[in-house]
Chain A
Amino acid sequence: MNLVLIFNTFNGLITGAFYALLALGLALILGLNNTINFAQGAFMALAAYFAYTLEPSLGFWGALAVAPLLAGVLGLVVEVFLIRRLYKRDPLYSLLLTFGLALIMQDVIRTVWGANGVPLSIPESLGHPLSQTYFFLTGYRLFVVAVALVGTAVLFAVLRYTRLGIRIRAGNADLETVSALGVNIYLLRTANFVIGIVFAGVAGILAAGQLGLEPTMGDGLLMPAFVAIVVGGVGSLLGSLLGGLLIGVASGITTAYFPAASEAVIYLIMGLMLVVRPRGLMGQEGLFE
């Protein structure tokens, strides 16, 4: 039993890193665009389908590079024509908009690519376990962890050291003043949204490699992302990473002992967190308190 526990903890960290990757784009959009983007899962699915269509001509790596950019273009269109109009209103409006958008995108996927699942093949070299004992450690999953860590680091660096990043962080704190200082906040928010969607695209393609690629896949990816953000703390990237890891490990361990609750346990943790420490592990004080 002890060995199973260790394995599950280890495996949980890997799954958790994946959840953190899902949460990155969502956290970014939640911050500056003040939008609870319910369509994040749908963008992930769409990018994965783009990758599936591009894979025969570009291969897995080419598709991984290009498809998120295509999703980003769609994100650009959505932000400029739809979400931008709702910034002045209650966040509830953009929530409803993105919710509806998610349903529309899911049905578009179903109409264009069919309701049936389609296979996204991952490179042969990554599809094998790296060790006999730790059979759940495949090259692909390690790659996903690497992308999650690198992604967080890159985003962190961008936010801290580039002009765009500093403006985004300033906008998070006080958008009006930033605008008064002469920064084009429209461009800023569009850029922020597109970056968030590109991250979603990468996450979606990586998800499709190891899970399934079918029209409803976004639903299963969106919820852990939300929970990771709430647990880790809204407004903190490191928090989202930690939040993801925490729920990944919790889910993995619960599966070993009480599989029926493996999905529910992440919501239980979120509920507990909201009661005991609403700001999350590393969130900014005052956001929810």
Chain B
Amino acid sequence: MNKEDSNEQVQMDRRTLIKAGGAAGLAALLGTQVPSWGASETPVKIGLIDPITSTFAALGQSEIKGAKFAEAEINKAGGVMGRPLQIFVEDSAGNPGTAVDKASRLLSQNKVDFLMGTVNSAASLAVSQFANRHDKLFVCTGGHVDSLTGKECKTTTFRTCSTTWMLTAGDFETLYKKFGKKWYFLTTDYAFGQSEQADYTTQLKKAGGSVVGGALVPVGATDFSSYLIDVKAKSPDVLCLLLAGNDQVNCMKQIAQFGINKDIAVGGALFELEQAQALPEAARYGWWTMEWYWNQPNTPHVADFVKRYAAANKGEYPTARAWFGFATTHAIRLAVEKAKSLETAKVVKAMEGLVLPPEIALQPGNVFYRPQDHQLMLGMFPGHVIQTGKYPNLFDVSGIVPGEKIALPPSETGCVLPRA
């Protein structure tokens, strides 16, 4: 190789290298979040990992809105221990691997003090393990799988949303007593769905009912006609739909078009206001459990919260997911202020048994993080979808069941936490 050639080559490469470096730098700048507070106070940083894209996007974005709303109010009221609160949001895309990558980035690049978030159970378990390995507090906002505060519980992991057991126990009695003993399960084949089905089956068998059929549907299935043919053939009393977000909406549409809900009662566990919004009027039916609902005429503070949230979010009403983000952010603040420190071990101790005050809990009853498994004892809101309802009046809550009453006793969850 000639010396001139190699020089020229190096020059060309250097120019391209500089261009590439400049582009990369610009990209990195756009990628990270620019803090908006003055540099005088080191902020308290929370890393929020939630799906902004993917099929869980609607739920993740609601959680993020709730958390951001809390962040704004906390900062307006003086911050956490007098320091500004900063929430860094990263997209998990509903994928456990991506969620852990983003968690890693939040820890190393943004140097967050705490982690929160995740919607789907697989991502929750993954981030929980990751946070534990790095000794960082992780409060799961939206993944329901029992094992997160059960067999896979960790000292550094807390959960705001309910366990799968609580969800199913919330409306099992209603469905069983009202509609019948022969159940058919249509379940999405992923951690959460299987967990729901297992829990319902346990309760059903204990009550003397029977499972006349079931099918595991792959995630993202769009056409349920073949499954519904099998449902009709087995003629159950109750068709229990345990499908993932958008799949549930699809299925409910098709059930309505086929007229199946006319002779078979349709119900299930988790139902979200975001799903109700996506249903055309013909497909608004069913008995479900919500984990929080905005329409609580008898609970103080709720109407005010709904008004403030709607004002900050262009008239959008808060959903259960928004409340998860909101309550979790405040819970972390309360724990930090109680511990007067950002050290994980101290904040964990402060969070064990932490009772959410009424203006955060926004529901009746004793809402606290149980020390034995770090699970929030939130209430369940079983009810049914209002057929002719107009947003936001899409769900009729039949009663609020206190979480403490229906959660599995700590000894039965399989969680063994080292007690200090």
In the complex, which residue of chain B has the Cβ closest to the Cβ of A14? B225
Is the pair B253, A211 in contact by a Cβ cutoff of 8 Å? yes
Chain A, residues 1-39, CB within 8 Å of chain B (1/0): the string is 001100110011011000000000000000000000000
| Chain A residues within 8 Å of B275, by CB | 117
Given known pairs A135-B232, A220-B220, the reply for A115 and B225 (CB within 8 Å) is no
Complex Cα gap A219–B52 (Å):
17
In the complex, are the beta carbons of A3 and B249 less than 8 A apart? no
Segment of A66-74, A186-194, A249-257 in the binding face? A249-257
A212, B280: Cβ atoms closer than 8 Å: no
Q: Are B278 and A115 in contact (CB under 8 A)?
A: no
Interchain CB contact under 8 A, B233 and A117: no
A91-110 CB mask vs B (1 if < 8 Å, else 0) is 00000000000000011001
Q: Check B279 for interface membership: any CB of A closer than 8 A.
A: yes
Q: CA–CA, A118 to B249, complex, Å? A: 10
Chain B contacts for A135, CB-based, 8 A: 228, 232, 258-260
A210-B253 in contact (CB<8A)? yes
For B252-280 the 0/1 string (1 means CB < 8 A from A) is 01101111100000000000001101111
Size category, B interface: 35 or more
Q: Does residue B8 face the partner (Cβ distance < 8 Å to A)? A: no
Are A256 and B225 touching (Cβ within 8 A)?
A: no
Q: Which residue of A lies closest to B259 (CB)?
A: A129
Is A156's beta carbon under 8 Å from chain B? Answer: no
Residue in B217, B222, B258 whose CB lies within 8 Å of A212: B222
Closest to B94 in A: A216
Which of B52, B253, B257 has most chain A Cβ within 10 Å?
B257
Question: Whose C-beta in chain B lies nearest to the C-beta of A19?
Answer: B223
With A115-B61, A214-B55, A259-B216 known as contacts, the answer to whether A129 contacts B226 (CB < 8 A) is: no
Which residues of chain A (54-99) have a CB below 8 Å from chain B?
Answer: none
Which applies to chain B's interface (DSSP): helix, strand, loop or mixed? helix
Tell whether, in the assembled complex, residue B218 and residue A262 are in contact, meaning their CB atoms are under 8 Å apart. Answer: yes
A160 at the interface (CB under 8 A from B): no
A260 within 8 A of B: yes
- B140 → A minimal CB distance (Å): 20
Which segment, of A120-128, A227-235, A237-245, faces chain B? A120-128
Q: Which residue of A lies closest to B247 (CB)?
A: A212
CB distance from A17 to the nearest CB of B (A): 12
Total residue contacts A-B, CB cutoff 8 A: 129
Give per-residue flags for B274-312: 1 if the beta carbon is below 8 A from chain A beta carbons, else 0: 110111111100000000000000000000000000000
Query: Is A171 an interface residue, CB under 8 A from the partner?
Result: no
Binary contact readout A111-145 vs B (1 if CB under 8 angstroms, 0 otherwise): 00011111111101001110000011010100000
Q: Which residues of B contact A214 (CB under 8 A)?
A: 55, 58, 246, 249, 278
Q: Is B53 an interface residue (CB 8 A)?
A: yes
Q: Are the C-beta atoms of B215 and A259 separated by less than 8 Å?
A: yes
Q: Which residue of A lies closest to B220 (CB)?
A: A220
- Contact bitstring A252-282, B, C-beta under 8 A = 1, else 0: 1101100110111000000000000000000
Which residues does chain A contribute within 8 Å of B222, judged by CB atoms?
A: 207, 211-212, 217, 220-221
Q: What 1/0 mask marks residues of chain B from 203 to 240 whose CB sits below 8 Å from any chain A CB?
A: 00000000000011110111101111110110000000
**Cβ of A204 under 8 Å from chain B:** no
Q: How far is the CA of A122 from the CA of B256 in the complex (A)?
A: 12
> Which secondary structure characterizes the binding site on chain A?
helix
Q: With A128-B257, A212-B222 given, is the CB distance from A117 to B280 under 8 Å?
A: no
B58's partner among A15, A117, A122, A217 (CB-CB below 8 A) is A117
Q: Give A277 Cβ to nearest chain B Cβ, in Å.
A: 27
Beta-carbon contact of B221 and A15 below 8 Å: no
Contact A255 B277 (CB under 8 A): no
A251 in contact with B226 (CB, 8 Å): yes
| A119 vs B223: C-alpha distance when bound (angstroms) | 16
- Give complex CA distance A12, B226 in Å: 8
Chain B contacts for A263, CB-based, 8 A: 218, 220-221
**A121 and B226 contact, CB distance less than 8 A:** no
**A259 neighbours in B (Cβ, 8 Å):** 215-218, 227
Residues of A within 8 A of B72 (CB): none
> Which of A14, A107, A215 has the largest count of B CB atoms less than 10 A from its CB?
A215
B278 close to A117 (CB less than 8 A): yes
Q: Across the two chains, which residue of chain B brings its CB closest to A115?
A: B57
Q: With A and B bound together, what is the CA distance between A114 and B314 in angstroms?
A: 13
Return the chain B residue nearest A138 by Cβ: B257
Closest 10 CB pairs of A and B: A117-B278, A255-B226, A115-B57, A119-B280, A116-B58, A115-B58, A121-B280, A259-B215, A212-B250, A252-B226
Q: List 10 A-B contacts (CB under 8 A).
A: A12-B226, A15-B225, A116-B274, A122-B280, A135-B260, A138-B257, A210-B254, A251-B226, A255-B227, A256-B230
